[in-house]
Amino acid sequence: MKVYLTAFIIMIVGLFMAPLLSLKPNRLMPGDPGYLIDIAPLNDILLVLSLLVLFLIFANLLSWNKHLKLFMCLILSAIFYKIITISGDVALVRSEADFLARTAFTTGFWLFVAGYIVVMMQAFATVIEKKYDIKLLIILLTIAPVGLLFFNGGVGEISIFKELMSKQDRFLLEFKNHLLISGSASFSAILIGIPLGIYSFRHQRLSERIFGLLNIVQTIPSIALFGFLIAPFAWLASKSDFLDSVGFSGIGFAPAITALILYGLLPIVRNTYAGISSIDPSVVESAKGMGMTSGQILIKIQLPVSMPLLMNGIRVSFVQCIGNTAVAALVGAGGFGLFIFQGLGQSAVDMVLLCAIPTILLAVFADTIMQFIIKLTSPKGMDYDTD
């Protein structure tokens, strides 16, 4: 109940105490604040208030009936959709009056979204483990307002969607680049990190040096590491015709993927080492007594038992790669970072949000999928918490 009450207060502040929209004369100029009570018809304001009160009532009744959380999520989705349609109507009117005018989401809207996400995540987390149908319904209710946007003509006039429409082809291209870079780096980090973790476990004297080196890499700022790799990679490309012919250079994919691999190694190596180390030595001794070789012990005992920890390391590494890939645009690798840094340079907040939000959603989606895989790969009888 405390979580829902906190989220309710955040949403109230966002909707009624902070500006919901920024009414800008053009793409770059700062705009006037647009409060919900000023931009929405009275009947819409009363509808939103009524739904919020109903949400609070259902939140208080959850202790009596857990199934009410579905109705609570439905109410919140309806509020979210109504807020977006109100914003779309305002944007459409302003766009018809002045083609250059921009209507952008601002503080109040993002506060409401924050409260909305908190409620949905709490509702999802408190569902009984095997109630997959209820969990699916909560997920659908969470994303439903976004899907319904396509049925509202005015939403396309909101500033962030205007940015998307004007750069749609390039957006899809950089989305593919972002997935390619982060996916390639993560896969390479797995191929290197797992054997390195096993090697560290079997050579304890070298493990401290290996982890010390990987820890140092983690302390290097991402921009600095990307920049540091430009000169040596450019020198290697100039000395090798083969490297130059395959596109290896001081800028582009090569330094970006290399830096991301270096960042992604520590979680995988550390968790591989920790997972194998956590196995009771007597289990290994028993396996040796049965005549199993070190390779058989690794494949049949150590890796399966340590799989949850190992997969958790891969999860952390994957999410980290997705986030750090945004910085790879600084060395010409592309990805969502291209729009983020262009937006920062032009003081165009909507261009920044256009790719910052998908980057966050992509990381959250990857984290959720990996947590599901961890549960599938956990040995039966082992209750493993990814948190």
| pLDDT, greater one: 174 or 384 | 174
Token output for 311: 């997969």
**Enclosing H/E stretch for 230:** helix 222-239
Strand 102-105, strand 32-34: pairing = unpaired
Residue 249 pLDDT level (bands cut at 50, 70, 90): confident
Fold of the domain built from segment(s) 168-377: MetI-like fold (1.10.3720)
pLDDT tens column, 34-87: 999 999 999 999 999 999 998 888 888 766 666 677 788 888 888 988 898 898
Residue 244 contacts residue 273 (beta carbons within 8 Å): no
- Determine the pLDDT at residue 57: 86
Higher pLDDT, 385 or 280: 280
Give yes or no for a contact between 315 and 367, defined as CB atoms under 8 angstroms apart.
yes
Question: Looking at the predicted structure, is the pLDDT value of residue 322 above 90?
Answer: yes
Q: Distance (Å, rounded) from C-alpha 65 to C-alpha 75?
A: 16
- 46 neighbors 16 (Cβ within 8 angstroms): no
Single-letter residue type at 60: N
Computed over every residue of the chain, the mean pLDDT equals: 85
Predicted local confidence at residue 152, as pLDDT? 60
Domain ranges of the chain: 2-163, 168-377
- Note the pLDDT of residue 149: 62
pTM: predicted TM-score of the whole model, two decimal places: 0.82
**Amino acid in position 222:** S
DSSP state of 158: B
Q: Kindly report, residue by residue over 124-156, the tens digit of the pLDDT.
A: 776 655 555 566 666 666 676 666 665 566 677
Residue 2 confidence (pLDDT) = 81
User: pLDDT value at position 330?
Assistant: 85
Pick the CATH number of 2-163 from 1.20.140, 1.10.10, 2.60.40, 3.40.630: 1.20.140
- Residue 200 corresponds to which tokens in the numbers above? 């560290």
Using CA atoms, how far apart are residues 60 and 74, in angstroms rounded to an integer? 16
Rounded Cα distance, 232 and 225, in Å: 12
The set of residues, in sequence order, having a beta carbon less than 8 Å from that of 92 and lying 6+ positions away, is: 153, 154, 157
Q: Are the C-beta atoms of residues 34 and 22 closer than 8 Å to each other?
A: yes
CB 343 within 8 A of CB 351: yes
Identical topology for domains 2-163 and 168-377: no
* C-alpha to C-alpha distance for 198 and 196, rounded to whole angstroms: 5
**Confidence band, pLDDT 50/70/90 cuts, at residue 387:** low
pLDDT range class, residue 179, cuts 50, 70, 90: very high
Adjacent-strand bridge partners of 22: 33, 104
d(CA 373, CA 307): 10
Nearest Cα to Cα of residue 51 among 108, 12, 18: 12
Cα 209 versus chain centre, distance: 32
pLDDT bucket at 380, cuts 50 / 70 / 90: low
Residue type, 18: A
Q: How far apart are the first and last CA of the chain?
A: 21
Instruction: Tell me how far apart the alpha carbons of residues 89 and 152 are, in angstroms, rounded to a whole number.
Output: 9
* % of the chain with per-residue pLDDT over 90: 32
